[in-house]
Structure 1
């Protein structure tokens, strides 16, 4: 699963800070950019494992442009990290669904533009719909 991270630039006296805006309270740091990103990966993994074990859902991601408008992150650097948290959700199951041809074509086109698989897009869309209307 891909997560947007905001990186507060460090210097000789300060570590690089990392915040995961879509995961409340998930943050990390590192003395170098590489260390900060590795630590962010670990923090995201632990955050998601804990939330799922507590019976909650991982919040749906917001767009990076929305996060960039937050004045708290002015001057920060943005990145995306891929953390395989799906392992905490249980094994994948194949399903058979019926979708109108034109809708399926649009799903595939959208997923391709966003570098997702069809299944990944459908799962993300379902999560977002369920989060919007509990």
Structure 2
């Protein structure tokens, strides 16, 4: 899942406020953008792990554009200081135990899926690709 990350630089304190709008409470301060990306990625994984531990659903990620527009409307004067990034998190470890199922698909569709998986670093397996497609469809 692709989570939008918002950075706001504080000149007075010389650090970045880093937050994930889709995960309330997932925020921190860091001295550099690189440290912010590294730390927020760990924080996202930690929060998702906690949600999974308590049987809570993984929050869906809204588009970066929708977050940007909402922030701009709410904070027109500080908007110029904000910038955005996206971090991709494999949420499958936070969805509970995997179960093997039998799915019947047309041969040509399977070939297209396998070709996409082999050419993309976003998907490690055919199952991962199908799960991602299911998430996208369920979010509609």
TM-score, with structure 2 as normaliser? 0.66
Pairwise CA distance, 1:16: 0.3
Going from structure 1 to structure 2, the CA distance change for 1:12 and 1:106 (only over 3 Å counts) comes to farther
2:37 is equivalent to residue 37 of structure 1: yes
Q: Does the residue aligned with 1:9 lie in a helix, a strand or coil?
A: strand
Aligned-residue RMSD, C-alpha? 3.4
Q: Does the residue aligned with 1:81 lie in a helix, a strand or coil?
A: strand
Aligned position for 2:67:
67
Give the Cα–Cα distance (whole angstroms) in 2 for the partners of residues 91 and 22 of structure 1.
24
Instruction: Decide which structure has the larger Cα Rg and report it.
Output: 2
Pairwise CA distance, 1:5: 0.9
Pairwise CA distance, 1:58: 0.8
**Do the aligned residues in 2 keep the contact of 1:60 with 1:128 (CA within 8 Å)?**
no
Q: Within 5 Å, which residues of 2 pair with 1:83-122?
A: 83=89, 86-89=92-95, 92=98, 94-100=100-106, 116-117=122-123, 119-122=127-130
Going from structure 1 to structure 2, the CA distance change for 1:115 and 1:95 (only over 3 Å counts) comes to same
**Do the aligned residues in 2 keep the contact of 1:60 with 1:124 (CA within 8 Å)?**
no
Moved more, 98-107 or 31-40: 98-107
* Gaps in structure 1 of 5+ consecutive residues: none
| Offset from partner CA, 1:13-61 (integer Å, 9 cap, x none) | 3320111112122112201112222221221121111111010111121
* Gaps in structure 2 of 5+ consecutive residues: none
Instruction: Tell me the matched-pair count.
Output: 132
| Offset from partner CA, 1:78-121 (integer Å, 9 cap, x none) | 11224455444456555431235676688789989x96435334
